Amino acid sequence: MERADTSFPDIAAFVGVAQTGSFTRAAENLATSKSNVGKAVQRLESRLGTKLFQRTTRAVRLTEDGETYLIAAQAALDGLRDAAQALAARKEEPIGRVRLDIPSGFRQLFLPTISELRHRFPQVTLELSMTDRMSDAVGEGWDIVVRAGALPQDSEMTVRKLCNTSLRLYASPDYLARHAPIETPADLVQHDAVIFRGFTGKLRPWSLTENGHLRELAPPPVIVLSDGQAVIDATVIGLGISQLFDKVAQPYVDCGRLVPVLPGVDSPGPPVHALIPLGSRMPAKTRAVLNYLADRLR
């Protein structure tokens, strides 16, 4: 059986004629010519293989097939209008799913506040991934990718800076109670180090500020981890000292699970950026989540 392809403008013309009983009035309502409406109905009848109207000099009436088709056509057009109105509303109000990819170490910074996001935007559904690899926002379908440090040179992305960071050394109170005091950077070589391996495969050295100068320290690690949250967890349970972003560590400091070590040697950390696939206009749902992230990091 040959497939009956139909054109929505042709269906709209048919419905217009059926509702007004006139090719002329239908053409006026559709802002086109009577000839165009007539051709549209003829194309539709040809595709369907049946007559939809009985035409006389005085009236245009639906055939039995036309009455059957009108019910389905009206339902289809009503559904399309409803969908168009829903999409228009989504442009103005935060409605729908937002796919967000953040570094794993940011988990404690964001997860406890998701209820606040839900309260602000109850019609937004969040799909959250936490990973330290450099995700492909376009190829993987992410609406927002949050990353600290170097950014990909990608013309398909819009970049928004969310905040600056500082790098600080941290340890658990238990670890510090069990080990020798740390009074100068030289003391660090006598302590256990929890080291992060970045997505490039390289171990990340500690960056320290001494006498106004930055220097890198690569202490012998007691454990190497490639997951930012695992670095935090290992530090919290007392495996050693780690260097973390200040904003990421702050929730653990606030509850007494981490303590800053040698705060005088803090160094500037990398900025945190949001990567958003390019589009003609950012949807309201994405903008709402992006602004919420900026507020949290600020």
> What are the C-alpha distances in Å from 85 to residues 57, 78, 183, 262?
39, 11, 65, 58
Q: How far apart are CA 170 and CA 242, in angstroms?
A: 6
Within a domain: 151: yes
> Which residues, listed in sequence order, are joined to residue 99 by a DSSP beta bridge?
127
- What pLDDT does residue 58 have? 77
| Rounded average pLDDT over 252-268 | 94
d(CA 84, CA 291): 26
Q: What is the CATH number of the domain that holds 245?
A: 3.40.190.290
- Alpha-carbon gap, residue 205 to 174, rounded angstroms: 24
Mean pLDDT for 64-75 is 89
For residue 69, tell me if it sits in a domain: yes
Mark which of 34, 63, 92 sits at the end of a domain. 92
Q: Is 3 inside any structural domain?
A: no
The answer to whether 143 and 286 are in contact (CB under 8 A) is yes
The answer to whether residues 186 and 227 belong to one domain is yes
H runs (alpha helix) in 135-245: 173-178, 228-236
Tell me, yes or no, whether 33 and 72 share the same domain.
Answer: yes
Distance CA 133, CA 104 (A): 9
Q: Tens of pLDDT along 210-236?
A: 888 999 998 889 999 999 999 999 999
Residues 36 and 182 reside in one and the same domain: no
Q: Are 28 and 36 in contact (CB under 8 A)?
A: no
Residue 5 is predicted with a pLDDT of 57
- Examine the domain organization and report whether 159 and 207 are in the same domain: no
* 193 and 263 fall within a common domain: yes
- Segment 172-199, tens digit of pLDDT: 999 999 999 999 999 998 899 999 998 7
pTM beyond 0.85: the answer is no
Q: Which residue has the higher pLDDT, 138 or 228?
A: 228
Averaged pLDDT for residues 109-126: 87
Rounded-to-integer distance, Cα 258 and Cα 241, Å = 10
Which H or E run contains 101? strand 96-102
Q: Are residues 174 and 224 in the same domain?
A: yes
Domain boundary, last residue among 71, 92, 113: 92
- Structural domain boundaries enclosing 241: 166-268
**Tokens coding 156:** 């398909």
> How many folded domains does the chain comprise?
3
Q: Are residues 53 and 198 in the same domain?
A: no
Q: Is residue 1 part of a domain?
A: no
Grouping H, G, I as helix, E, B as strand and the rest as coil, residue 259 is strand
Tokens standing for 60?
């245009």
Rounded CA-CA distance 197/242 in Å is 12
Q: How far apart are the first and last CA of the chain?
A: 63
Are 50 and 69 in the same domain?
yes
